[in-house]
């Protein structure tokens, strides 16, 4: 995967190559394609790849499921703009109680 490339573009490019290999007689099992895709993801997807590997049986996992999982994470990363915001909470002891004596 190229830096800055989106998941859909990468999958389209990768599946075209895999299909051409099948046409020329290469026996490409889905698990092999899945493993190759996961190994070639950029660093920003490392935690997603680790999560997929640990929580799924790759022998029964489909290419579509992998793509969907990576797309969801890509959308979350893009939607948050790369930073997190924290809520600021303040306490005012005058609210909800008496002050003084």
Three-state SS for 9-47 is: HHHHHHHHHHHHHHHCCCCCCHHHHHHHHHHCCCHHHHH
Interval 24-61: pLDDT, tens: 998 888 999 999 999 999 998 988 899 888 888 888 99
Domain extents in the chain: 7-79
The model's pTM is 0.69
Backbone φ, ψ for residue 37 (5° rounding): -65, -45
Looking at residue 8, its pLDDT comes to 92
Between residues 74 and 97, the one the model is more confident about: 74
**How confident is the model over 17-26, as pLDDT tens digits?**
999 999 999 8
Mean pLDDT of the chain: 82
């Amino acid at each position: 995967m190229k830096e800055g490339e989106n998941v859909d573009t990468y999958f389209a490019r990768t599946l075209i190559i895999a299909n051409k290999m099948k046409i020329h007689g290469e026996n490409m099992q889905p698990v092999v394609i899945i493993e190759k895709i996961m190994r070639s993801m950029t660093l920003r997807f490392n935690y997603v790849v680790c999560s997929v590997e640990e929580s799924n049986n790759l022998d029964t996992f489909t290419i579509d499921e992998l793509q969907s999982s990576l797309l969801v994470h890509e959308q979350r990363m893009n939607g948050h703009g790369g930073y997190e915001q924290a809520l600021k909470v303040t306490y005012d002891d005058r609210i909800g109680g008496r002050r003084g004596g």
